Amino acid sequence: MKRLVILGAPGSGKGSQCKWITKDYDVPHISTGDILRKNIADGTALGVEAKSYMDKGELVPSELVIALLKARLDEEDCKAKGFLLDGFPRTVEQAESLDEYLKENGISLDRVVNIEVPDEEIMARALNRRTCSNPACKEIYNLRDNAPQVENVCDKCGSALFVRDDDNEATVSKRLEVYHTQTEPLIKYYSEQGKLSTVVGQVLLEDTIKLVKAELEK
């Protein structure tokens, strides 16, 4: 069982890493962005509130996200198998809340993997990203270097692909700014806890996977 956090700017390829980590280590993948998007799709009050922040690239207020995350970590699968957190924590305040929760439950993180990718590369990737609309698949494509066989159709499940509402230039710029000011301090936070592994994102997904795997198996 592993308890992991994956850090990195939005668009650094965290989602792609999470796909194999969750399979290989049999840990639930918990993406706060996905949970929020599900609330938006379901039209919940939380979803309506969250959408206005998300569409602008701003962070959703921490108290909302922390409550969601704790409720998810309280579920049986996380207790039995551990977890892989993706998109949380995003601020030092959230990391402190997570540490409190872990302490109260007598558990701790095994590792925090930080994926480093230059901003220009992130912008290019975001603008070319297409995501499978099937919630059970969620395959991610990139029109530049990992295009689907048929335009706008998922190779794996045949569902339609879509562009996330927040994958536009203004929102990505804002998300990167928010990342540098609010999330980057977590690198120091977890490095001081001796939990951080930094991996430089490679052009080929397989190469990044190898580097991340080496860190998780240390």
Binding mask 77-106 for ligand AMP (x = CB under 6 A): ----------xx-x---x------------
CB of 182 to ligand AMP, least distance (A): 9
* Interaction between residue 8 and ligand AMP (CB under 6 A): no
Contacts of 65 (CB under 8 A, 6+ apart): 32, 36, 59, 88, 90, 94
Q: Which residue has 């990342």 as its token pair?
A: 179
Catalytic residue among 3, 14, 37, 111: 14
Q: Which of 56, 164, 174, 195 is catalytic?
A: 164
Which are the contacts of 38, defined by CB distance < 8 A and separation ≥ 6? 47, 135
Binding to ligand AMP by residue 10, rule CB under 6 A?
yes
65 is an interface residue for ligand AMP by CB under 6 A: yes
What is the C-alpha separation between 111 and 50, in angstroms, rounded?
29
**Percent composition of the chain: helix, strand, coil (DSSP 3-state, to 5):** 50, 15, 35
Q: Is residue 111 annotated as a catalytic residue, yes or no?
A: no
Minimum CB distance to ligand AMP smaller for 32 or for 208: 32
Least separation in angstroms between CB 162 and ligand AMP: 14
Q: Which of residues 111-170 bind ligand AMP (CB under 6 A)?
A: 166
Full DSSP string of 86-103 = ES---SHHHHHHHHHHHH
Sheet of strand 196-200: strand arrangement: 29-31, 82-86, 2-8, 111-116, 196-200
As annotated, the active-site residues are: 14, 90, 129, 164, 175
Residues forming the site for ligand AMP (CB under 6 A): 10, 32-33, 36, 53-54, 57-60, 65, 87-88, 90, 94, 166, 175
